[in-house]
Structure 1
Amino acid sequence: MRQVGGFTLRIWQVMLGGAVAVLLTGQIAPADALAAINTDVMVFLFCMFVVGEALSRSGYLDVLARRLFRHAKTPHQLLVLVIFGFGILSALLMNDTLAIIGTPLVLGLAARCSLPKKMLLFALAFAITTGSVASPIGNPQNLLVAVNSGMTAPFVTFAAWLLLPTLASLAAAWLVLRLYYRKDLAASFAAGDAGPETLPDPSLTRIVLCSLAILVGLAITNIAASVLNGVIAIPLPLIGLAAALPILVFSGQRVTVLKAIDWCTLVFFAAMFVLMAAVWETGFFQSLAGVAGVTTVPAILATSVVTSQFISNVPFVALFQPLIMQAGGTTARLMALAAGSTIAGNLTILGAASNVIIIQQAESRGETLTFMEFVKVGVPVTLIQIGIYAVFLGVV
């Protein structure tokens, strides 16, 4: 209920209003509210937004997309490249960042290749949601799981538990879309003219490549340290800072980049930490968990998918992770929380912020996906993926 008369409330405004309300009514003390804000998550998100915005502004991501998609010879191959290409990227870059960058790319690709725009919007949405499951930095809720649980080797842990089912789930999304759009995919394929590759800012591109090299290099270092010593050598916020530093120090567009990053999402997260801390102190969800039994892996998967449709996946994880930790935060339970809360975004538009971003971006360019259109395709995708993750997590 975000429509108040002729005024539409944005999601960050709703969350901020909730945080202000609990502060004004004394449900949480100002000092406790400040302490509730997870600075590690805030710093990492800020840095990833800086890198993502600079990557988009430099034009380099568009060049990479053109080079990747030009290898497609059939509509089926193009669909595979979109789903697995963006799916793999979402494990390295936050899925919200790819939603911002990827929407104009797939719409342009659909126009050039004479393919249904809705099909490629679905492919983008399912790819960046599903692909982000396999990495602690793929989406904000995974980052919460990794940081708040004190996980010593998050990259290795997520990959060991979730990489294979994530690849299988990406294949499931491709299969559902292939069946749903079988008539369109059977039509002739128009390769279209991608036009010349252009870099709006070559100097920014060089800096962004340096940032990406730092990001990947430090992630590999952490993976190696996790394998050898079982510990995370470099904290995630430090990785983010190291990646963003070249842009903030050496780029002439640093001010422009800082102005353009998604500050509203950062406000959303800060407010969410305050509001969820106040809700946690009421004990309501602790008692509910005792009744619902959301401390077993099957219940966590099911509850994550369903509840995330109402309070979104990031607030859900912020609320329910403490319950899981109190009940014994086993790796299987934490991975079920990460997987269930993330693939919840494939069920409906409201399940993930990245879906909303994609639709907002698409509507500004004359295309959209309705709620029922999304559900019609999202339900079979999500049900199949729940089964896949259940099997790999040892539920079945």
Structure 2
Amino acid sequence: MRQVGRFSLKIWQIMLGGAIAVLLTGQIAPADALRAIDPDVMLFLFGMFVVGETLVSSGYLSSLANRFFSRAKNPDQVVLGILFGMGILSALLMNDTLAVIGTPLVLALAAGRRISKKLLLLALAFAITTGSVMSPIGNPQNLLVAINSGMASPFVTFALYLAIPTLACLAIAYAVLRVFYRDEFQPRTFEAEAVQQPDPRLALLAKISLAVVLVLAVVNILASLLTGSMLVTLPLIAIGAALPVLLFSEKRFVILRGIDWCTLVFFAAMFVLMASVWQTGVFQSLVSNGMLTSVPALLATSIVFSQFISNVPFVALFQPLVMAAGSGTAQLMALAAGSTIAGNLTILGAASNVIIIQNAEKQGVTLTFMEFLKVGLPLTVLQLIVYAGWLMVVG
């Protein structure tokens, strides 16, 4: 329930209200609440939000995407471009960032190429949710798994366990969309579109920031292969990528005002509220050992629970139990994958879905809960089978 009379509550406001409630009622001590907020996660999110906002504000990412899609000659290529282009990009940037810039982009593509707007919105949602599975920095829940598990080489681990099934799942998303929207894939002629020119100076800094992320990620991958550990921590990667903008851009304060502060508040409040819930022991009593050690059970549990408390709070509560049960890397990867593809089942399964739907409604396009579920249910079931089969083999 997010509507109270004339007031519509946002997710971050609900989480903040819960955190304030447990503090005021003494369910958690202020000192414990402060310690519960993970500085590594907060710093990483801040840095990546600065990079993402720079890419958006400079117009560089939009220009890049428009040039990429100008090569698409038919609806199949447009949908495949969204699924694999946005999917792979979401492994490098937070999926919420791509939800913000991707929504107006796919709506413009749909209008210019006379393709169903709902089809391309679904393609975008499935792309950035599924694609983000294969990287420790693709989404917040993967970041929690990577940091809180003490994983020595998260980039390598996520790639080895999740890259191949994720690419397969992106192909499955294309097949499912083609079944449900078969009439939209009829051949047609596309007209050339003008490409918006980016802000040259800010675009240069955006390129540098993106290069820092890529270079440091490669450095960590090589270091992990040679030494078994990372040279640069994930928070330092994000802060290092944000520094060129913060130090050298005249628009630094515009960028800072534009970043997603609400999500940072959401995370700080979530850490406090989930620490309080953890201290009660109620959540632990609902979990059986089979949920913690079986890969298929972990995947299914993650998908179902994430519909009710959202995937990030679920991982914050569930990961300590998985680690305490002595589960291995395959189980942690199942937790990351299951909690992420939960976003393909319903709109409420991922914050990025909500961002897409809300931004689309501002432009007069509505994608209903049932329209999403109709396509998302078979897709999620198929993806569950793929990830379960793959993780059981490699684990």
TM-score, normalization by structure 1: 0.98
Q: 1:342 aligns with which of 340, 343, 354?
A: 340
Alignment match, 1:284? 282
Q: 1:381 aligns with which of 379, 392, 395?
A: 379
After TM superposition, give the deviation of residue 191 of structure 1 in Å: 1.4
Letter in 1 for 2:266: F
1-structure distance, mates of 2:61, 2:190: 20
After TM superposition, give the deviation of residue 245 of structure 1 in Å: 0.2
Letter in 1 for 2:194: G
Q: What value does the CA root-mean-square deviation take over the aligned residues?
A: 1.2
Equivalences for residues 287-302 of structure 1 within 5 A: 287-290=285-288, 293-302=291-300
Runs (4 or more) in structure 1 with deviation over 4 Å come to none
2-structure distance, mates of 1:292, 1:213: 43
Any idea what the Cα deviations from partners look like across 1:131-168, whole Å, max 9, x if unmatched? 00000000000000000000000000000000000000
Letter in 2 for 1:333: Q
For the 8 Å contact 1:294–1:303, the answer to whether it is kept is no
Alignment match, 1:247? 245
Structure 2: any 5+ residue segments left out of the alignment?
none
Any idea what the Cα deviations from partners look like across 1:174-207, whole Å, max 9, x if unmatched? 0000111111112x423123114411x1100111
Alignment match, 1:275? 273
Q: 2:354 aligns with which of 353, 356, 376?
A: 356
Matched, 1:96 2:101: no
Alignment match, 1:57? 57
2-structure distance, mates of 1:267, 1:329: 31
After TM superposition, give the deviation of residue 291 of structure 1 in Å: 6.9
2-structure distance, mates of 1:333, 1:375: 27
After TM superposition, give the deviation of residue 292 of structure 1 in Å: 6.4
Letter in 1 for 2:385: G
Q: 1:257 aligns with which of 255, 258, 261?
A: 255
For the 8 Å contact 2:73–2:189, the answer to whether it is kept is no
Any idea what the Cα deviations from partners look like across 1:69-116, whole Å, max 9, x if unmatched? 111111111111110000000000000000001100000011111110
After TM superposition, give the deviation of residue 395 of structure 1 in Å: 6.8
SS in 2 for 1:393: helix
1-structure distance, mates of 2:331, 2:225: 22
For the 8 Å contact 1:304–1:340, the answer to whether it is kept is yes
1-structure distance, mates of 2:348, 2:195: 37
1-structure distance, mates of 2:315, 2:67: 37
Matched, 1:366 2:364: yes
For the 8 Å contact 2:300–2:338, the answer to whether it is kept is yes
Alignment match, 1:81? 81
Aligned length: 394
Flag the 1:292–1:17 CA change in 2: closer, same or farther, 3 A.
Answer: farther
After TM superposition, give the deviation of residue 381 of structure 1 in Å: 0.7
After TM superposition, give the deviation of residue 232 of structure 1 in Å: 1.2
SS in 2 for 1:217: helix
Letter in 2 for 1:330: G
2-structure distance, mates of 1:171, 1:35: 42
Percent identical residues? 66
1-structure distance, mates of 2:58, 2:189: 28
